[in-house]
Structure formats: structure tokens, C-alpha cells
């Protein structure tokens, strides 16, 4: 019923850029905010950024602030993650997530209700 589809991942050299997209399915989709998480091999899933649909307020984890930018297009039900100045430690599978309800914490992955399939980002040195 609800689908999130990520795209835009790939292989890039350190210092390069990638733009990820996440498209939420049709008019059945309902959420208050969208987030990006990432998971590297052997590591836990990590919060990257989030944005609210209504106000466009944004939130970032410290390690990406100033390098990554989250944005949205409400008409297209699409959220973007522009990643600049990429580092090898940014390599991970990046997941798009949707939150149905307002919650105090942005960083807990288990507070999000819908997830995409993930897109691989690999940054070489």
C-alpha cells in the first residue's frame, strides 16, 4: 500500500557529490516527516537527516551538517538528499523513511513507520 523508492546511489571519489531521491507512493501515502538513514557494514543504522512536510524544518546529524542538504517537493511526494564533500566514512546503504506521527526523537530508526529498499553509496579514497 505504501512504497518508498530511493535512487541516485553509486560510486564516487572522496570529495565528490551525489544526489539521492526518495519517491513516496500515491495518494494513500500519509506522513508528517521524512528521514534519511544509513547503515554501513558491521555498523548500526544511523540517522542522517529529516524534514517535515508542512514547514520544511530540517534536522541533521553532526557528522553531515554543512555537507548534506535535505529538501522536498510536496507536489511530487519526493525528498532529496544532496551529498557534497563526500568522505569514505559516508559509504553505506542509504534508506529513506517516513514517519506518520510527531515524535520527540528524530534519530531513533524504530520511530519511523515506512522504509524504502535502500540505495548503495560508495565513496572511494
pLDDT digit string (tens) for the chain, length 125 residues: 789 999 999 999 999 999 999 999 865 577 899 999 999 999 999 999 999 999 999 999 999 999 999 999 998 999 999 999 999 999 999 999 999 898 889 999 999 999 999 999 999 99
Which H, E and C letters describe the chain, residue by residue?
Answer: CCCEEEECCEEEECCCCEEEEEEECCCCCCCCEEEEEEECCCCCCEEEEEEECCCCCEEECCCCECCEEEEEEHHHCEEEEEECCCCHHHCEEEEEEEECCCCCCCCCHHHCCEECCCEEEEEEC
Which pLDDT does position 25 carry in this prediction? 83
Which pLDDT does position 26 carry in this prediction? 62
Amino acid at each position: 500500500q505504501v512504497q518508498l523508492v530511493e535512487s541516485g546511489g553509486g560510486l564516487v571519489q572522496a570529495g565528490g557529490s551525489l544526489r539521492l531521491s526518495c519517491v513516496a507512493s500515491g495518494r494513500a501515502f500519509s506522513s508528517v516527516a521524512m528521514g534519511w538513514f544509513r547503515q554501513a557494514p558491521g555498523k548500526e543504522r544511523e540517522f542522517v537527516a529529516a524534514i517535515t512536510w508542512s514547514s520544511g524544518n530540517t534536522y541533521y546529524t553532526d557528522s553531515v551538517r554543512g555537507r548534506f542538504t535535505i529538501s522536498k517537493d510536496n507536489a511530487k511526494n519526493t525528498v532529496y538528499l544532496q551529498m557534497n564533500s563526500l568522505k569514505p566514512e559516508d559509504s553505506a546503504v542509504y534508506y529513506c523513511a517516513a514517519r506518520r506521527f510527531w515524535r520527540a526523537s528524530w534519530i531513533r530508526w524504530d520511530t519511523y513507520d515506512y522504509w524504502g529498499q535502500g540505495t548503495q553509496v560508495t565513496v572511494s579514497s
